[in-house]
Amino acid sequence: MSGLDELDRPGTPESPGAGGAVGAVGAVGTPGTQGAAAGAGARAGAGAGPEGQRPTASRRGAADPVKALMHRHRELCERAVDPLEIAAGLEAHGVTDRTAARFRHRDVFSLAEEMYARVPRDGEAPPPAAAAPAPRPRLDRALLTLLPGVLCAAAVTGVRLTHGRTCLLVAAAGVLAVTLALRAVLRRGPLSPHRGAHPGPHRTDAWTCWLLGYAALGDSLLRAAVAGGPDGLPDGTADGPWPFAAAPLLTLTLACAPAAWSAHLLAVRARRRLDTSRGLEEFAASVQPLVLGTFALFLCALAALTPLSAEVLGEPAAYGHTLALGALLFLARLLTVHGFTQVPAVALGAAGAAEMLAPATVFASRLPGCGFLATPVEGLVAASGPAGVPSLVCGAAALTLLVHATRTLTRASAHAPTDQPC
Amino acid sequence: MRIGLLTEGGYPYLSGDAGLWCDRLVRGLEQHEFDVYALSRAEHQEEAGWAELPPQVRRVRTAPLWTAADDGVAYGRRARRRFAESYGELVTALCEGEPPGPPDLEGPPGTVPAAQADRFATALYGLAELAHDEGGLVGALRSEDAVRSLERACRAPGALRTAREARVPELLAVAAHLERALRPLSLDWYGDECGDGGEGLDAVDLCHATSGGAAALPGLLARHFFDVPLLVTEYGVRLRTHYLSSGTGPSAAGPGSAPSAEAAPAVRALVAAFHGRLAAEVYRQAACVTPGNTHARRWQERCGADRAKLRTVYPGMEASRFAEVGDSLDTADPHTLVWVGRVEPAKDLVSLLHAFSELRRQEPRTRLRIIGAPAGAEGEAYLGHCKVLAAQLFPDEADGPHAVGDNPVSFEEIGGPEAPTLAEAYAAGAVVVLSSVVEGFPVGLVEAMFCGRATVSTDVGAVVEVIGGTGLVVPPRNPRALAEACVALLRDPGRRARLGAAARARALELFTVEQNITAFHGIYLELVARAPMRRFLFDDGDPRPFAVPAEACLPEHRPGPDPRVTPRHGPGWAAEPPARDTSPIAATEGAR
């Protein structure tokens, strides 16, 4: 291609390309304008005198045209991670092989390589990436987490104040309302699973319902069973033959709010640690106390709520059972939120099955020749009351989950932002 | 024969990039069967639906790239170790310092012994085999094991300097990016256990990847697993696109917390290393690589493509729209310059306006028509800016003291009363000008060539290669040179006519749809001829040459090694090239 030679030759005569008909590819213009076209690098480097009269020697003689080019594209050069990135950027700015020839390079690639090699790298670490914006606490979400507790309180009050058919209707409406509110809390906000987390085959809904049901009716059932009952179906009152304990339910639904806030706190703090950690070990070491602290915070809140709701409802406060169950559910949810679904499902299932087994053994012991079946449960009930069984079961499950959580929630991948661009 | 057409975010989806080209290719080669394997890039693309498919498309299989369902497979001890080994190798290969070098130690595909094969390639195929055997690769790539391997590789001695600085968020970002990039490994397209029913990529005779990157990855695996020859067509080099898009920040899909980590140097270095090595491996394994122009070709050579495999196939364009204008006599106003295109800053209309003001000092009667719609909000603003500049540079002028004047620069759009069609827009000018500072393949220039116009263009992108001496070329950002070239052409009608005729002849030779399809037809035949049928092997596992007659590749007919077909006529696809309908145009051009 003749144009390249023409462009490179100093002192090209006036308007070379105006001659032939076909094949006139190449430079049309004066040397001065060619100089301008050579890239603003040359322009910036040797910017003395008007373009037309600039001597060709100054274009060449500007000791270092590449330096001027680098100055013009300094941002590109500084952020480039390899020479090809500079080459792509230069081409996007209209630098062609012909321009590169002006810098005494065969093509854009070798020009880019020189530029990449010459970028000063003073060895100082780049500034840490700007901290990712943490999920903002939102007032509506915070109020939403209070909703299950409020609805539960209202339902319990309604059941206490009404009788007969109305009472049943109120109870049904209350259960429905609380369920819907719980779903709303668990589907958005800090207690919702990360986007992209695999829901998998591990469903925990049924076991969770069973555990909650046991919290309300199980202790009295066990007491009655050990004593030879029960003598009737539960009637929703605290003084019937199969009394209904509303305080644990109220406590746990109220605890949705501290649970959500704790989870939010954990997410925000962990994200902050993530941004400042240099290595995975360091991150794990710094997050472990955070996980334990979050759990302790929630436990404190639960411990404060337990006597409160017991006082309001006029029932005895079942600390052991409520705290153990609350801890179990909180940890299970926390693990699920961060994408670990299998172990919580197993733990909840095991706890539920154990609680199912306890009254079952008592009933089974009434069969002839099976009296030995009830011995462990009866011993436990005699030692620590009927609440001892679920406390033990839930406590053990919660402890397992806590150990698991301190190992898995300290992983960086558990806190990875999942909504990354594709 | 059966072609596996691999696309990413294009055909057969309506909103694809290269949809038109693929559609023409598939319709033009109706003597072959096509299995389309499409990767979709976004949800809205899937919702937009498919283009209408011709009957030679036998099957379409799609998979999303924008989402991946974890299939919930948890690895056992051995699978975990396999994964850790392969993934560790992969990321170690990424963290090693040397970039993909120029092609010096290239051999023909298949001759490289496994021991010497690239570390990256071994690791990639290791992961693919793991995904094939066990599944669950998505979950594994997201797991803590992956992040740990990555950290180890980054901290290893000899790792890239930028990689050594990677912090936890960056490690997570790289792991997430690799997970996305390796999603094609988890697809169920490589089903060899489905018998010989032709269920997956093992059943095709040739894989044609319509772009590099993710689309070529299934072809690479088909090459590895089943020895299916791979043809890669790149009209824009994916690696370059990646660099450009990573330079401008993350894609718009993630408004969340990702950007800060995505833009970190460590992330960009490792991700660029991945794409560079993937491109090198694709070029190394491909039987043939067809860049769309010399610019793409240079990039491919740079990324390690063997020169012997590269064959430039120019994109084809519909020439019939311009046949009438190109054949008719030049009726244009001899004082009119025309610029046609999408208005955006890269087109440098400001430079064009300055050139025009320079030109009007010498040729005061000249008019300039800028025809085109703005592209996006940025183009809208730029168009407004240009209009203001034109109004400032050129006062309205009239023929006489009693006539209403107007501006010598007019801004129009295709479909307006002055320029109802694209061809007429080009026909309206004595000279067609292209003033871009950045250009890929200059479509507008080719259209002007089809119309037989003399052109003046700036030396950017593939312009010189396209124009090939049938028009004037000036340096970019040089209004004076542009003006002088225009003046030279405006003053010399004979030269204009000669250049226009030569340009039209050149365009009809090189840039028609027919030449594009014929070229691919030839490449298909050549590649398949070189690749023996794999289904009939000697006892020691080598393919049996001539075991299958050529007719075996005819549609709906795949006989065994016993050739019962009379070879009298030969198969239809081998006898003649696809039907061409260029004869009338070519005849007039030749007679001229």
Q: Does B244 contact A279 at a Cβ distance shorter than 8 Å?
A: no
- Provide the number of structural domains found in chain A: 2
Distance CA B283, CA B232 (A): 8
pLDDT digits (tens, 9 = 90+) for B54-65: 888 888 888 888
Residues of chain B numbered 248-307 and touching chain A (CB < 8 Å): 250-254, 256-258, 260-265, 268-269, 272-273, 276, 295, 298, 302
Contacts of A1 in chain B (CB under 8 A): 464
Omega of the bond prior to B584 within 30 degrees of 0, cis?
no
Residue A130 forms part of a structural domain? no
Residue A305 near residue A330, CB atoms below 8 Å: no
Instruction: Give, in degrees to the nearest 5, the angle at Cα B269 between B267 and B275.
Output: 100
Residue A199 forms part of a structural domain? yes
Q: Which two tokens stand for residue A12?
A: 């090209």
Q: Give the ranges where B76-215 is alpha helix by DSSP (H).
A: 77-95, 119-134, 137-142, 144-155, 161-164, 168-181
Q: B140 pLDDT exceeds 50? A: yes
DSSP state at residue A387: T
Collapsing DSSP to helix, strand or coil, B366 comes out as coil
Which member of B168, B437, B481 has the closest CB to residue A283? B168
pLDDT of B434 reads 92
- CB of B528 within 8 Å of a chain A CB? The answer is no
Q: A21 pLDDT exceeds 80? A: no
Q: B117 pLDDT exceeds 70? A: no
**Residues A195 and A301 placed together within one structural domain of the fold:** yes
Nearest CA in chain A to B41: A422
pLDDT digits (tens, 9 = 90+) for B380-418: 999 999 999 999 888 888 777 888 888 889 898 888 887
Lowest mean pLDDT among B19-23, B208-212, B228-232, B550-554: B550-554
Torsion of CA B332, B336, B340, B343, to 10 degrees: -160
Collapsing DSSP to helix, strand or coil, B554 comes out as coil
**Residues A202 and A268 placed together within one structural domain of the fold:** yes
Which of B460, B480, B482 would best serve as a mutation to test chain A binding (most A beta carbons within 10 A)?
Answer: B480
Model confidence at B101, pLDDT cuts 50, 70, 90, reads very low
pLDDT of A9 reads 35
The range of the structural domain enclosing residue A98 comes to 1-6+35-45+59-121
**Residues A321 and A179 placed together within one structural domain of the fold:** yes
- CB of B247 within 8 Å of a chain A CB? The answer is yes
- From the CA of A208, how many Å to the nearest CA of chain B? 22
| B472-474 and B409-412 strand pairing | unpaired
Collapsing DSSP to helix, strand or coil, B439 comes out as coil
Residue A24 forms part of a structural domain? no
Q: Does B74 contact A342 at a Cβ distance shorter than 8 Å?
A: yes
User: In chain A, pLDDT over 70 holds for what percent of residues?
Assistant: 75
Residue A114 near residue A106, CB atoms below 8 Å: no
Model confidence at B145, pLDDT cuts 50, 70, 90, reads confident
Model confidence at A195, pLDDT cuts 50, 70, 90, reads low
Q: Does A21 contact B499 at a Cβ distance shorter than 8 Å?
A: yes
**Among B422, B416, B476, which residue's Cα sits nearest to residue B447?**
B422
**Residues A257 and A401 placed together within one structural domain of the fold:** yes
**Residues A308 and A211 placed together within one structural domain of the fold:** yes
Distance from the Cα of residue B159 to its chain's centroid: 33
Choose between A178 and A230: higher pLDDT.
Answer: A178
- From the CA of A354, how many Å to the nearest CA of chain B? 27
**Among A397, A295, A404, which residue's Cα sits nearest to residue A348?**
A397
Number of Cβ atoms within 10 Å of the Cβ of B118: 16
**Residues A98 and A233 placed together within one structural domain of the fold:** no
Residue A181 near residue A221, CB atoms below 8 Å: no
- CB of B308 within 8 Å of a chain A CB? The answer is no
Choose between A159 and A203: higher pLDDT.
Answer: A159
Residue B402: φ, ψ to 5° = -110, 0
pLDDT digits (tens, 9 = 90+) for A374-398: 777 888 888 877 788 888 888 999 9
According to DSSP, the residues that pair with B370 across neighbouring strands are B339, B411
pLDDT of B350 reads 92
Q: Which two tokens stand for residue B462?
A: 């593939």
Contacts of B246 in chain A (CB under 8 A): 85
A77: left (phi over 0), alpha (psi -120 to 50) or beta: alpha
Number of Cβ atoms within 10 Å of the Cβ of A48: 9
pLDDT of B389 reads 92
**Residues A101 and A210 placed together within one structural domain of the fold:** no
Distance CA B183, CA B166 (A): 24
Number of Cβ atoms within 10 Å of the Cβ of B200: 23
Nearest CA in chain A to B462: A96
Distance CA A167, CA A155 (A): 10
The chain-wide mean pLDDT, for chain A, equals 75
B338: left (phi over 0), alpha (psi -120 to 50) or beta: beta
Contacts of B263 in chain A (CB under 8 A): 129
Residue B82 near residue B143, CB atoms below 8 Å: no
Contacts of A50 in chain B (CB under 8 A): none
Q: A287 pLDDT exceeds 80? A: yes
Which member of A81, A271, A282 has the closest CB to residue B272? A81
Which member of A25, A79, A200 has the closest CB to residue B467? A25
- Edge to edge, the sheet with strand B33-40 lists B57-64, B33-40, B2-8, B206-209, B230-234, B288-291
- Edge to edge, the sheet with strand B454-458 lists B409-412, B367-371, B336-340, B431-434, B454-458, B472-474
Q: Which two tokens stand for residue B71?
A: 């299939």
Instruction: Give, in degrees to the nearest 5, the angle at Cα B452 between B450 and B455.
Output: 100
User: In chain B, pLDDT over 90 holds for what percent of residues?
Assistant: 16
Nearest CA in chain B to A21: B495
Q: B424 pLDDT exceeds 80? A: yes
- CB of B172 within 8 Å of a chain A CB? The answer is yes
Instruction: Give, in degrees to the nearest 5, the angle at Cα B210 between B204 and B215.
Output: 80
Which member of A21, A97, A271 has the closest CB to residue B498? A21
Q: Does B498 contact A421 at a Cβ distance shorter than 8 Å?
A: no
Q: Does B473 contact A280 at a Cβ distance shorter than 8 Å?
A: no
Task: Kindly state the average pLDDT of the residues A189-205.
Answer: 66
**Among B275, B309, B194, B282, which residue's Cα sits nearest to residue B6?**
B282
- CB of B362 within 8 Å of a chain A CB? The answer is no
Q: Which two tokens stand for residue A56?
A: 């060709």
Which member of A96, A280, A419 has the closest CB to residue B147? A280
Nearest CA in chain A to B482: A28
Q: B482 pLDDT exceeds 90? A: yes
- CB of B499 within 8 Å of a chain A CB? The answer is yes
pLDDT digits (tens, 9 = 90+) for B490-547: 999 899 999 999 999 999 999 998 998 999 999 988 888 887 655 666 666 666 666 6
ipTM (interface pTM): 0.79
Q: Does B243 contact A88 at a Cβ distance shorter than 8 Å?
A: yes
pLDDT digits (tens, 9 = 90+) for A209-241: 888 888 888 777 877 777 777 766 666 565 666
Q: At what angle do helices A256-276 and A139-161 cross, to 10 degrees?
A: 160
pLDDT digits (tens, 9 = 90+) for A121-142: 765 555 555 555 556 667 777 7
**Among B159, B462, B269, B217, which residue's Cα sits nearest to residue A80?**
B269
Contacts of A27 in chain B (CB under 8 A): 474-475, 481
Which of B243, B344, B362 would best serve as a mutation to test chain A binding (most A beta carbons within 10 A)?
Answer: B243
**Residues A79 and A171 placed together within one structural domain of the fold:** no
Contacts of A126 in chain B (CB under 8 A): 165, 264-265
Q: A25 pLDDT exceeds 70? A: no
Residue whose pair of structure tokens reads 């995975």 in the numeric block: A280
Distance CA A407, CA B144 (A): 12
Q: Which two tokens stand for residue A363?
A: 């009933």
pLDDT digits (tens, 9 = 90+) for A143-152: 888 888 889 8
SS (HEC) of A292-353: HHHHHHHHHHHHHHHHHHHHHHCCCCCHHHHHHHHHHHHHHHHHHHCCCCHHHHHHHHHHHH
Q: Which residues contact A382 (CB under 8 A, 6 or more apart)?
A: none
Which member of B177, B263, B469 has the closest CB to residue A22? B469
Lowest mean pLDDT among A237-241, B136-140, B350-354: A237-241
> Residue A383, exposed/middle/buried by CB under 10 A (0-12, 13-18, 19+)?
exposed
- CB of B347 within 8 Å of a chain A CB? The answer is no
**Residues A84 and A174 placed together within one structural domain of the fold:** no
Domain residue ranges in chain B: 320-510, 532-591
Tell me which of 3.40.50.2000, 3.40.50.300, 3.40.718.10, 3.40.50.720 is the CATH number of domain B320-510: 3.40.50.2000
Distance from the Cα of residue A412 to its chain's centroid: 10
pLDDT of A295 reads 92
Lowest mean pLDDT among A36-40, A171-175, B278-282, B519-523: A36-40
Q: B224 pLDDT exceeds 70? A: yes
Q: Which two tokens stand for residue A46?
A: 């040797």
The chain-wide mean pLDDT, for chain B, equals 79
Nearest CA in chain B to A79: B265
Contacts of B469 in chain A (CB under 8 A): 22-25
Q: Does A27 contact B481 at a Cβ distance shorter than 8 Å?
A: yes
pLDDT of B578 reads 44
pLDDT of B506 reads 93
Q: Does B476 contact A130 at a Cβ distance shorter than 8 Å?
A: no
Number of Cβ atoms within 10 Å of the Cβ of A176: 12
Instruction: Give, in degrees to the nearest 5, the angle at Cα B435 between B502 and B438.
Output: 105
Distance CA A332, CA A335 (A): 5
Which member of A200, A279, A282 has the closest CB to residue B72? A200
pLDDT digits (tens, 9 = 90+) for B151-206: 888 888 877 778 888 888 888 888 888 988 888 888 888 765 544 445 678 778 88
Residue whose pair of structure tokens reads 């706890």 in the numeric block: A351
Instruction: Give the length of chain A.
Output: 422
Residue B486 near residue B431, CB atoms below 8 Å: yes
Compute CA distances B493 → B104, B308, B335, B360, B453, whole Å.
50, 43, 11, 18, 11
Model confidence at B584, pLDDT cuts 50, 70, 90, reads very low
pLDDT of B108 reads 37
Instruction: Give the length of chain B.
Output: 592
Instruction: Give, in degrees to the nearest 5, the angle at Cα B532 between B527 and B534.
Output: 125
Distance from the Cα of residue A234 to its chain's centroid: 42
